[in-house]
Amino acid sequence: MDFDYSPQEETFRQELRSWLEANPADNYDPATFEIIDQEERFQIKFDWQKKLHGAGWVGIHWPQEYGGRGATIMEQTIYQQEMARVHAPGLANPLGISLVGPTLMHWGTEEQKERFVPKILSADELWCQGYSEPGSGSDLASLQTRAVDAGDDFVVNGQKVWTSFAHKADYCILVARTDPDAPKHKGLSYLLVDMHSPGVTVRPLVQISGDAEFNEVFFEDVRVPKANLVGERNNGWQVAITTLMFERANFGMVYNLEPMLDRLKACIKDLEVNGQPAADDPDVRQQVAAFHVEIQALKFNGYRQLTQQLRGNPPGPEGSISKLAGSELYIRMVHFAMELLGPYSQCALGEDQGIDNGFWARRALGSRLYTIAGGTSEIMRNIVGERVLRLSKG
Ligand SMILES: Cc1cc2nc3c(=O)[nH]c(=O)nc-3n(C[C@H](O)[C@H](O)[C@H](O)COP(=O)(O)OP(=O)(O)OC[C@H]3O[C@@H](n4cnc5c(N)ncnc54)[C@H](O)[C@@H]3O)c2cc1C
């Protein structure tokens, strides 16, 4: 790989940078974004996605026929860098963009692509992912939600849990059991479920941070048209795995780490350790440099995954390396900041005494989610061992 930017890539960067300078996110201040109410945060992300979409800046990696720009690896990289540089807010439909759209492009019928894909980038339809159940997380294939054949429809009964954004979603990618007698990986089907259907109940779960961004979802005699079956009936596991590969290949995590390292670097300039600025302390400097090196290594690993995808291959198990290393690095960075802050680390978000607006306390409360959501670290280690390193099962 040639790491220099070509003149065309520099032109692309300039075009995006100029656009971002002229079109900042409305009502958005990165310094206070995490203090404001969850609803306000959602509205900012929603408006931001609409604004980006209006100018063709959402899902740039998607093919042009689906509203993307067919962006090259380097353009995607530049995009992430520029978004991180301005500390841009997230988007309102992240699962739609990174999971649902790419999965439908790969597995969907022409009718499904035409019906569902265009409304994802525009945020006209928001999506959630109905995989996990109270007894089925890591061992997803053991799930019990049933979809029974009823003429033109399936009738769905069961419960999902930890369903992020279900309280805002219009549609759900749902994995349900259509053949209870088949071996557990073989009797599943992948359905697109209208969250406004009769029989769907969403109950938000409140997190330690006070937010409630994920939910329990109950399905009681919910009718789902057979036209919304993705892939073949009873072959839903293959489709579900494709979605998970896109989830784990999500390269964006690295770009969350970079702004966080910037924030950490700013923070150590203001703090004192052993009577001197923390930024002058050799141990602190060494640790911050080590974080920088790890982030760079993750970035280069991510380029390998993107190369695979641009060759038209669905992402492979290598994405688990980024997921594992990125999420664990995130936790170590936050814990390091908490140690440096000492007693001030206990100041909650928005408290007057809280350094950096209590940002680090909030991140510490939320950091564990990354090693659980999308597959736990233990499961990622199993995948890397078995499917990347080809070690025998222990
Ligand atoms: C913030 C957040 C958002 C989420 N969003 C969604 C969502 O939108 N949609 C969705 O469907 N799910 C979502 N999830 C659920 C997530 O996918 C599951 O929590 C995850 O897969 C783990 O499943 P579990 O919680 O049932 O834990 P379990 O699978 O019960 O695991 C418990 C512990 O046992 C370990 N373990 C289990 N099996 C093995 C094994 N074979 N080898 C070694 N260790 C093992 C695990 O690593 C873990 O430490 C979300 C979770 C979080 C935290």
User: Per-residue pLDDT for 1 more than 60?
Assistant: no
Reduced to 3 states, what is the DSSP secondary structure of residue 317? coil
Domain ranges of the chain: 7-92, 127-234, 249-388
User: Per-residue pLDDT for 55 more than 60?
Assistant: yes
Q: What percent of the chain has pLDDT over 90?
A: 69
Q: Helix 359-367 to helix 252-270 angle, to the nearest 10 degrees?
A: 140
Pick the CATH number of 7-92 from 2.60.120, 1.10.287, 1.10.540, 1.20.1250: 1.10.540
Chain mean pLDDT for the chain: 91
Reduced to 3 states, what is the DSSP secondary structure of residue 267? helix
CA of 162 to the centre of ligand 1 (A): 9
Mean pLDDT of 372-378: 91
| pLDDT band, residue 307 (cuts 50/70/90) | confident
Tell the residue nearest (CA) to atom 44 of ligand 1.
378
User: Looking at domain 249-388, what is its CATH homologous superfamily?
Assistant: Butyryl-CoA Dehydrogenase, subunit A, domain 3 (1.20.140.10)
Mean pLDDT of 265-288: 92
Looking from the CA of residue 136, the nearest atom of ligand 1 is 26
Reduced to 3 states, what is the DSSP secondary structure of residue 25? coil
User: Per-residue pLDDT for 18 more than 70?
Assistant: yes
- DSSP conformation letters of 66-112: GTS----HHHHHHHHHHHHHTT----S-HHIIIIIHHHHHHH--HHH
List, chain by chain if needed, residues with CB within 6 Å of any ligand 1 atom. Answer: 128-132, 137-138, 162-164, 214, 369, 372-376, 378-379, 382
Specify the pTM: 0.89
Topology alike, domains 7-92 and 249-388: no
Q: Is the dihedral of CA 251, 256, 259, 260 positive or negative?
A: negative
The segment with the largest mean pLDDT, out of 31-40, 133-142, 348-357, is 133-142
Catalytic residue numbers? 247
pLDDT digits (tens, 9 = 90+) for 61-96: 899 999 999 998 789 889 988 998 898 999 999 999
pLDDT at 394: 66
CA of 154 to the centre of ligand 1 (A): 27
Mean pLDDT of 334-355: 84
Mean pLDDT of 324-349: 90
Which one is predicted more confidently, 308 or 362?
362
pLDDT digits (tens, 9 = 90+) for 195-252: 999 999 999 999 888 889 999 999 999 999 999 999 999 999 999 999 988 876 664 5
User: Per-residue pLDDT for 108 more than 70?
Assistant: yes
pLDDT at 255: 61
Bridge pairing between strands 200-205 and 229-230: unpaired
Residues 190 and 234 sit within 8 Å (Cβ to Cβ): no
Tell the residue nearest (CA) to atom 25 of ligand 1.
137
pLDDT at 254: 63
Task: Name the residue of 372, 377, 391 to mutate for ligand 1: max ligand atoms within 8 A of Cβ.
Answer: 372
Residues 248 and 322 sit within 8 Å (Cβ to Cβ): yes
User: Looking at domain 127-234, what is its CATH homologous superfamily?
Assistant: Butyryl-CoA Dehydrogenase, subunit A, domain 2 (2.40.110.10)
Between the CA atoms of 250, 253, 256 and 262, what dihedral angle is there, to the nearest 10 degrees?
-130
Q: Is the dihedral of CA 342, 346, 349, 351 positive or negative?
A: negative
CA of 214 to the centre of ligand 1 (A): 13
| pLDDT band, residue 337 (cuts 50/70/90) | very high
